[in-house]
Chains A and B, each alone.
Chain A
């Protein structure tokens, strides 16, 4: 699939970490503002 070096694991890790931070904060805000 990739033409370049095989470093797809790093890409997967970065995408998971970014999603965890963003979705985690979205959930936290949703809980904190659920009665507003």
Chain B
């Protein structure tokens, strides 16, 4: 079985599990008393944000490894992870405002967390545009590695922005030093969704990496 086929299997499994996340979140997870049904957007928004940040973190780490070892497998992986991360960042940036409208009364506000996540999305897009604009493989890999490392540096600021600045955005409920601040059934749904989104990331990256390999073999990568 090729890498692309294995990637399709992983993605198919993850999509089937995503259906289970939807059923669990919509039917079997209690409605939050103050936010109502809109709170359930959290079970997609937060795991999408996690996957986007995981993707950018791995773009940055692969970029560092590429610059140290000059191994093009890292560059290929970084490119795959960046494209997949852009998709998850798009999910984060669309579901967030849909939650914000009924809860905050506005689709968007220029507070630190939201602005930094928008900047993260622009970094993903800029990374992909840069790769498309530079034809020579070595230059493309080096330039994009520098941008990938900038993305890695941005991540702590995105995560800690709710502590560093006065912001409307809720503080972390799971990825924080103290115990998760969620009832058990809500936490189980969130953790299940985290797992499924991570599996989706893996399946997508496997396929995208296989695509990059095939393009290079054809000489147009």
Contacts and interface: CB of A to CB of B under 8 A. Distances in A.
Interface of A: 1-8, 10-11, 13-15, 17-19, 21-23, 25-26, 29-30, 32-33, 36
Given A6-B36, A10-B38, A11-B38, 19 more contacts: A3-B31, A4-B37, A6-B37, A7-B36, A7-B38, A7-B103, A8-B37, A10-B101, A14-B44, A17-B94, A17-B98, A19-B18, A21-B94, A22-B15, A29-B211, A30-B11, A33-B211, A36-B2, A36-B211
Interface of B: 2-5, 7-8, 11, 15, 18, 22, 26, 31-41, 44-45, 48, 87, 90-91, 94-95, 98-99, 101-103, 200, 204, 207-208, 210-211, 214
Contacts of B45: 14
A18 B7 contact: no
Contacts of A18: 44, 48, 91, 94-95
A25 B87 contact: yes
B87 A21 contact: yes
Contact of A8 (B36, B91, B200): B36
Contacts of B36: 2-8
B210 A36 contact: yes
Interface of A is mostly: helix
Contact of B18 (A2, A13, A22, A33): A22
A25 B204 contact: yes
A10 B33 CA distance: 16
Contacts of B5: 36
A5 B4 contact: no
